[in-house]
Structure 1
Amino acid sequence: MAKFLVSQSVSQSVSQSVSQSVSQHNVTFSENDNLIIKGNNLIALASLLKRYEGKVKCIYIDPPYNTGNDSFKYNDRFNHSTWLTFMKNRLELAKKLLSDNGVITVQCDDREQAYLKVLMDEIFGRENFLNCVAIKMSESSGVKMNHAKNKFPKLKEYILIYVKPKFKGFIEIDKYKETKWDLENNIFIENLTMEQRNLLINLEMKKINSEEDEIIANDILKFSKKISLSEKIKTLSFENEEEKKEWLFKNSYRIIKTAGSSSLTTLVKKIKEIPNQDLAAAVSKKGVLFFYITDFNRKSKQPRLQVIFADSNIFKNPCDFWQDIKTTGAISDEGGVKFVNSKKPEKILYRLIKMITKPNDLILDFFLGSGTTAAVAHKMGRRYIGIEQMDYIEDIAVERLKKVIDGEQTGISKTVNWQGGGSFVYCELKENGQKLIDSILSSDEKSINEIKEKIFSDDRIVPYITRQELKKADKDFFDLKFEEKKKVLIDLVDKNKLYINYSDIDNEEYDISKEEKQFNDSFYKDVR
């Protein structure tokens, strides 16, 4: 059963249909509801402003890449200027929806990345550019390698990240676990417990360390003794290499490697009385806590004296090149829906959402596609709004979210211990281009040009085609035969999927039900 919400021209529009996870008797909307909208994303974005302006913490979009064969099929093929206009209109509204500490992330590839960066510099401010993350999206194998002689095969995509001025930094870095043991970690520390190592970590995490922290650290390390890791391993017995590897990672908190450090060497050499112990601590002038071995080679200009604990390198910051996320193969089955060419791994969204948001923060994706953003946000306890204009939204994104509610176990489900639950409201923009189409069908050769001008001046056409392009089309239009003109105009109206304005909600011509009016009012009027 579908109930529809009507639109408010280019400034406000939504339509509503209740998902199976929401009571069929619920005809009002709450700001706590997760929302999925089918329809033109420019109009839907504008519709959200009254209720959500300045409230969205994170926006992620994966727009069409303008390659000429996008599975999204927003247009058969954008030319460069039209694609930029298409993006500019949407990004300007997206900026208004972001909170003053919000973050927008846009995934793209080489075709438009450089131009999109310039466009986003203009809209969000060059000073608010944070990162251009490169993601390894495929392997150096397969059909693409047949063309390796012509140019380097494409393996990567990008995520452009911009922040609003009050952004204070990532909440939690999503580090990834190293799978290969670093052989330079070759010193074992006796008499160091995990509790003691955690105390040292807590000291390291302080923004500025003091002399008192140095004293505490040295006291913790007082009885620690270093021995060769290989000698330690000889005292143990392992059935196989995998068991040995498991032991190494488990004991990484008391395994170290050493490194040369000119700054630390200078610092240590100035210490009047080095503690009589194997490992010691020192604090730099900038308040940074270091660990060092006390029996370093004093004859060397840059001795290997700095201590680096193995556990600090097992979990690595992904930095701005993400190559640890699996982006091929098994991900095609994530969410239990097929979306061959454009589905993004849940892990990408998990990383962004984890770093940028807290539970119950609001996330927006207005190129929803297969529904990855909404699925991950749902599993992570965030609120979300997803917008998609293609008909597959019900068969793919909506069905995927129903499976999420039922507790499906693909993607990040095991990582976040997902057990199912929650709800979302599915909405559709209420279309009505029939009035214009009827006028086209009943037109004659004299009135067809007047109707064309009426259509060309309709603000609802703008989201799909620029005014400049309409003007260029004028000459070609007049050269067409009468029946051809009618077909062109009907196609244009149909392509733009015109929507009913909220101001016309009481117009009997549109036959809007009492429940639909009630839902509209709760969405547009009941805003505190």
Structure 2
Amino acid sequence: MAAINDLLRQIPDTSLRNRLEQEFARISKNKKFGLVFEEHIPECTPLYEVPIKRGSTVAQKTGHINDVYTVLKLDGDVALCRNKATGNTENIPITELVSVAQFGEPIFPTLQPIDSVENAPDSNLWHAVIEADNYHALQLLEYLYPKKVDCIYIDPPYNTGARDWKYNNDYVDSSDNWRHSKWLSMMQKRLKIAKRILADDGVLITTIDDNEYAHLWVLLHELFPNLTHTCVTIQHNPGGTQGKKFSVTHEYAIFSYSAESTIYRKQHTGGDVYNLRRWGSTSGRYEGATCFYPVILDSNYNIIGFGDLLDKELHPTAQVEHNEDGTIYVWPIDKNGIEKKWRYGRDTVESVKDRMFIEKKGDRIEVILRRESEPPKTVWTDPLCNAEAHGTDMIKSILGGGFSYPKSLYAVHEALTFAVSGKKNALIVDFFAGSGTTLHAVNLLNSEDDGNRRCILVTNNEVSDDEAKALKKNGYQPGDIEWEKHGICRAVTWPRTKYSILGKRDDGSTLTGEYFTTQTASNEIERSFYQLGFVDNPSELTATAKSKSSLYSKTRKERHNYRNH
């Protein structure tokens, strides 16, 4: 129906066009149940490097990409063109034309090197950033990597109506009655090819917000009926975006995976610990018949084993018992002398011995457990998922300029961890690459575990709506060097990739800051400690005297552990 809308606008007879539009509006009110959307006019892709010759399919650089012509004749710098829709002919300067490929036409894609960066000459690890229409790039990847991609991570346009994405060379905004249908048509075509490159045990991760979540959820079930789809809610904007009724703080990541896929567990850092002794409700000794026994230590306070269950009529003499043979018994008794129980029964506690360590607190000894790995939760509230602090601000610090709605590096890193942390040679593809966060996250993951994961990014080189207007005002057209250097791939994706790999910018300046990772490091930091004076009667102090109660301070150096790379 959207295609009919476009065709109706081309009818020169105003009266006929109005009558047909009215009749079409009446017919289009008929609804069908379920996910129904239009295929829309076939997509077209400009091919700026392809020379124009007789018989070429072309469009005007500053016109609508779907308003296509056939070149009938070349006469010097002018082409005689016939409009495919109206049949009208006109002479158009060749400099104002661009060759186009229409959806469904056979293509023969090739890769033309533009730039490269190398940071480890002895490594066989190579990533790729492909500047292209992602549909055609996917056709190439289907030929190169059929069923070989371990993870596809995509962050498609959210279609908020804020002129934030293009479809058929036009920005789609909230006034477009077909914007949801256009979005679904665009996604369906690409996901169909993505399905053919995803390995049988691969994982597809798609991020989205409420604008298209419901539609995407149904589309994924329709295209991938044999996969399980799990939705994760991510708090990416803790401050919230102020709406009329609610302040929205979240977006979604949909994980699509098969029975053969592995969703890897999260490994905790050394600081994630808890007491072996239970507390709170149902933590009493007699609420766990097999959980009251001694943890046995040697004289150096090393855990050497576990004693037998104590008969329910018997009681330890203390929380810590020193035996004649030099061993030490530690019982699950809290600081109030109440007998509790251990978290693990006597028959299973041996399995977690390697995660235990001792913590002495005066006369007490606590048995502490390092937390084991755990599966991903369906709600992520980690501050590292904050897209402003670890997305927008990070890109500003790297490039010196901004980018609309970048992902938090750590939110993408977290998602990839669950998908490929156990596959050190995984191939990851992102065909909505945006600012290049996915490749950045792959490099971060590789640095943590010495992985050799490869990443392929695909992005076009579109300029923003505002930049396009300014460039046109200055006489530039798509395909001009001055125009193309402002495109997303050449101005954002590639520079970020290059700078983050080398650790420096083109001007030689060093990137500052540290990454948060699962690695730990020791660092000396200075902290100030203040000693306060004491008085016999604080109520006699005036407000001025209270503000001056700090007598002196001293500074000392401490060793501090933090996650760092």
- TM-score when scaled to structure 2? 0.48
Alignment match, 2:115:
19
2:123 maps to 1:58? no
What residue is the counterpart of 2:235 in the other structure?
136
Q: How does 1:513-528 map to 2 (within 5 A)?
A: none
Aligned position for 1:333: 393
Alignment of 1:285-434 (within 5 A): 311=369, 313=371, 317-326=375-384, 327-331=386-390, 332-334=392-394, 336-337=398-399, 338-357=401-420, 358-379=423-444, 380=446, 381-389=452-460, 390=462, 391-407=487-503, 408=511, 412=515, 415=518
Q: SS state of the match for residue 166, structure 1?
A: coil
Which residue of the partner structure matches residue 301 of structure 1?
none
Relative contact order: is structure 1 or structure 2 higher (C-alpha 8 Å, sep ≥ 6)? 1
Indicate whether 1:42 and 2:135 are aligned: yes
1:13 and 1:223, CA in 2 relative to 1: closer, same or farther beyond 3 A?
Answer: farther
Shift of 1:369: 0.5
Can you list the C-alpha shifts for 1:285-310, whole angstroms capped at 9, x where unaligned? xxx9799xxxxxxxxxxxxxxxx986
Q: Measure how far apart 1:374 and its partner are.
A: 1.0
Q: Tell me if the contact between 1:10 and 1:47 (Cα under 8 Å) persists in the aligned partners.
A: no
- Contact kept? 1:72, 1:369, Cα under 8 Å: no
Identity across matched positions, percent: 25
Residue 137 of structure 1 deviates from its aligned partner by 1.4
Contact 1:11 1:47 in 2 (8 A): no
Cα separation, 2, equivalents of 1:45 and 1:102: 16
- Is residue 322 of structure 2 the alignment partner of residue 226 of structure 1? no
> Match for 1:163 among 257, 262, 267?
257
C-alpha displacement of 1:111: 1.3
Alignment match, 2:185: 85
Q: 1:172 to 1:68 in 2, by over 3 A?
A: same
Deviation at 1:33, TM superposition (A): 3.5
**Bigger radius of gyration:** 2
One of 205, 212, 215 as aligned partner of 1:112? 212
Q: 1:84 to 1:175 in 2, by over 3 A?
A: farther
- Name the CA distance, whole Å, in 2 between partners of 1:11 and 1:174: 45
Q: CA deviation at 1:81?
A: 1.0
Please give the alpha-carbon distance, in whole angstroms, between the structure 1 residues aligned to 2:166 and 2:269: 35
Distance 2:347 2:369 in 1: 20
Given the superposition, is the C-alpha separation of residues 113 and 60 from structure 1 closer, same or farther in structure 2, using an over 3 Å criterion?
same
Determine if contact 1:176/1:318 at 8 Å carries over to the other structure. Answer: no
- Give the AA of the match of 2:456: I
User: Equivalent of 1:191, from 275, 297, 303?
Assistant: 297
The answer to whether 1:76 aligns with 2:171 is yes
Q: Larger deviation: 354-363 or 365-374?
A: 354-363
Q: Residue 352 of structure 1: CA displacement?
A: 2.1
1:33 aligns with 2:126: yes
Which amino acid counterpart does residue 370 of structure 1 have in structure 2? S
SS of the residue corresponding to residue 90 of structure 1 reads helix
Amino acid at match of 2:252: Y
Please list the CA deviations of residues 71-114 of structure 1 after superposition, one character each: whole Å capped at 9, or x if unmatched.
44454226111110100000011111111211100000111111
Contact 1:366–1:388 (Cα < 8 Å) also in 2:
yes
Greater fraction helix: 1
Q: Give the letter for the 2:237 counterpart.
A: S
Amino acid in the other structure paired with 2:407:
K
3-state SS of 1:385 partner:
strand
Contact 1:350–1:376 at 8 Å: present in 2 too? yes
Match of 1:67 in 2: 160
Return the offset for 1:312.
Answer: 5.3
TM-superposed deviation, 1:13 = 2.3
Post-superposition shift, 1:368?
Answer: 0.5
Task: Return the offset for 1:414.
Answer: 5.3
Following TM superposition, by how much is the alpha carbon of 1:385 offset from its aligned partner in structure 2, in angstroms? 0.6
Kept in 1: contact 2:296–2:329 (CA 8 A): yes
Does the Cα contact within 8 Å between 1:61 and 1:365 map onto a contact in 2? yes
Letter in 2 for 1:397: T
| Two-structure CA RMSD over aligned residues (Å) | 4.5
Separation in 1, partners of 2:239, 2:303: 45
**Aligned length, in residue pairs:** 321
- Aligned in 2, Cα 1:87/1:163: closer, same or farther, shift over 3 Å? same
Per the alignment, do residues 130 and 175 of structure 1 end up closer, same or farther by CA in structure 2, a change over 3 Å counting? farther
Residues 21/318 of structure 1: CA separation in 2 closer, same or farther (3 Å cut): same
Assess if the C-alpha contact under 8 Å between 1:14 and 1:44 holds in 2: no
Q: Give the aligned partner of residue 484 of structure 1.
A: none
2:257 aligned partner, one-letter code: V
Q: In the alignment, which residue of structure 1 is the partner of 2:25?
A: none
Secondary structure of 1:403 counterpart: helix
| Cα distance in 1 between the residues matched to 2:388 and 2:381 | 15
The answer to whether the 8 A contact 1:132-1:159 is kept is yes
Quote how far apart the aligned CAs of 1:350 are.
1.5
Q: 3-state DSSP class of the match of 2:171?
A: coil
Q: Equivalents in 1 of 2:490, 2:520: separation in Å?
A: 27
